[in-house]
Structure 1
Amino acid sequence: MEKFFKLKENGTDVRKEVIAGVTTFLTMAYIIAVNPGILSKTGMPAGALVTATCLTAGLATILMGLYANLPFALASGMGLNAFFAFSVCGKGIHWSVALTAVFFEGIIFIILSATNVREAVVNAIPNTLKIAVTGGIGLFIAFIGFVNAGIVVKNDATLVSMGNFTTPTVIIAVIGIIVIVALSKKNIKGAILWGILVSSICAWIYALVNPNLASKYMIFLPKKVFAFESLSDIAFKLDFSYVMDSTKIWTFITIVLTFLFVDFFDTVGTLVGVASKVGMVDKDGKVPRAGKALMVDSIGTTFGAMLGTSTVTTYVESSAGVAEGGRTGLTAVVTGVLFLIAMFFSPIFTAIPACATAPALIVVGYYMMENIVKINFADFTEGVPAFLTIALMPLTYSIGDGLTIGILAYVILNLINNIITKKKEDKKKISIVMYILAILFIIKLVATGL
């Protein structure tokens, strides 16, 4: 292992790497419950989704360790799974078509990762929109969490309103949020996972005491502990019908581009952010072997789509393992192996109710909002597109629609600004990539009659 992972060269040893790998797993294991909970809304079987989530995360993370020799873990991305379930499948598109879009996104990502186009694309998108997309997705998944908990409910007069705080689901979710916040404040690793665990135990106790009323709130006890669910119902179910249909191709392209946009910049941001925290960057501020890391990310996405799960991305929770001393791919290998072991506990994960995973969605949404302070809202050409992106993602219940309007607003406002502004230094440079995206999104809006 010393020869392969270069442990001494990176100032670490096997013990540190194993502890770091376990730590990373604990901080992101919540995805094993949350991802099936979200994707099962599309009609996909939850048990198979547990297997797909664990298998994809395990193999992709191990590949990250062996190929890139970096301590980063991967799994189905938060926000991207919500886009898959609610913005795509929620509008009548079958999950097999959505998986095909993820597959195409992965192929494009592989091409970008293997060429110099990667740097060009990264530089083409303004930083304001990158931050706004993350913030908008944060609000969107937090909103889903509030709805799943019953904190926010449907109202025919006002669209939404406050729920009843005396219902079991709200009480269980609030307990989970308190646990996560309290443990996070104490810097206890795996705070989100502990929050889900405590909420689940509360829910299962309620189901044990009052099973009839609990079933009304979709709370059930696990039927067993060990089981392995087959992937046969979701694996290799790609549907290329939208690609062949001229009336649907623009919708499909928009879906692929949205997946690609969010995944690509989320991965780049995570790699740079996590590596920078512990000095794992060179003198130019670049992450060593970042190209290999991006390649693993894109392969994971492509492979994941074939197995039946949404876009796979590098997790910011990897920073927990890095903070524990993880510096090489051995950390990732340990994390990946733990994901593969978790695959055989699917009855436990599928029995975790939506109100118990809601705290995770709400808290992760909060974390994703933290960088919006870097947006210059005093500059209308920067602030307005960012605001529209952030606000419209939850309000339209669509990450794709929020991104579409945000990009269009950025191009149009800055184009007008460049025309009416006489000072050269006040003009904004708009990349050709942004113009192309704007044109594609206008065609999409016109074609769909929006």
Structure 2
Amino acid sequence: MQYWNRTYECMSREEMNRVQTERLANTVKRIYHNVPFYREKMQKKGVEPGDIKTVEDLKKLPFSYKQDLRDTYPYGLFAVPMSEVVRLHASSGTTGKQIVVGYTRKDLDSWAEVMARTLTSAGTTKESFVQIAYGYGLFTGGLGAHYGAERIGASVIPISGGNTKRQIQIMKDFGTNILACTPSYALFIAEELEEAGIKKEDLKLKAGVFGAEPWSANMRDEIEQRLGIVAIDIYGLSEIIGPGVATECICKCGLHIQEDHFIPEIIDPETEEVLPEGCKGELVFTTITKEGFPLIRYRTRDISSLTYEKCECGRTLARMSKVQGRTDDMLIIRGVNVFPSQIESVLLEIGETAPHYLLIVDRVDNLDTLEVWVEMTQGLFSDEVRRIEDLERKIRHEIESTLGVSAKVKLVEPKTIERSEGKAKRVIDKRKL
């Protein structure tokens, strides 16, 4: 079995607890003395650094929210002088102000370390050619994967996103065997390969590390089959460090969290109570090695669960389940909670359409409506109208029986739904909520 850092990846629970306790106590002291925002929050809760003696004391600390990062924009949560910050990244800022994060040299070193572990989990070695088709720039994806691959000593192909024909040409000519991009873009590449008449056997691809958006097990199967690779799910967010927070191994039974850098919790999103192992709830992270931009009990809004059982691969790190949606992108339609990934699973389970869809939610006469656009394959598009209508009825029935909500299903022509080289846009919500 391949490990990048066996010491931490296979550490006993007792030893990991000791490492986390020491690093947590140091982090809390630093933010209390260096970040007025956190000091005020802790004082309001009646907590002082000396109260944090074990990992169990984590629950005494206040939560952090995305709004806190906006309220202190741009540098209000930094714990070091700006002269020590050597890199700035920012989130896309889809709502309100963008989130700005900063890294010291040690932070960049930690980031390269966790991404080296991530890429190693997918089989990356010094002999690998890693094509990074995540975006470079303020988005953390491209550079995060880049420095992790360089840390391993692999040959990095920093192509960034877009220009898919060129991506494919380089994939063939350079002998790419590890692909790093969003899962939706991986499917788009597969589609373009097929249209160009290039067989997966013509490539040297072996594995892909895919993240930055939710994707279902069925979508994984589709990617693996069409590209002939092992598809590994990776997890990260700019606020915590970027990609590299957690990764699957080849066993694909949950994502290993790099616990010597990030302490995970699962809470009830309503009561904020910490939930026991195995329970589904909102994922919360505390960073314990970051210098520039440490975060305490940051509410990610991602829905997951945790297990601390040793994995078949030998790693003892806590594992989070594949993200099952978000508390803030969850759709409530006529009182029913709906995640786009649930619709995706239904579509890919049926398997008679292209893997591209769009959910359009509206409110007509005070009643929520859901319309699901699904792209037809070229073969289906040229089929008879009755066949298309039958498939629309079939999909509508499966959505209703699986999710408990009725939907209008519309099969649309191939290439109707806009493609994305970054995060796929899955929902248009026209309601004035």
TM normalised by structure 1 equals 0.27
TM normalised by structure 2 equals 0.28
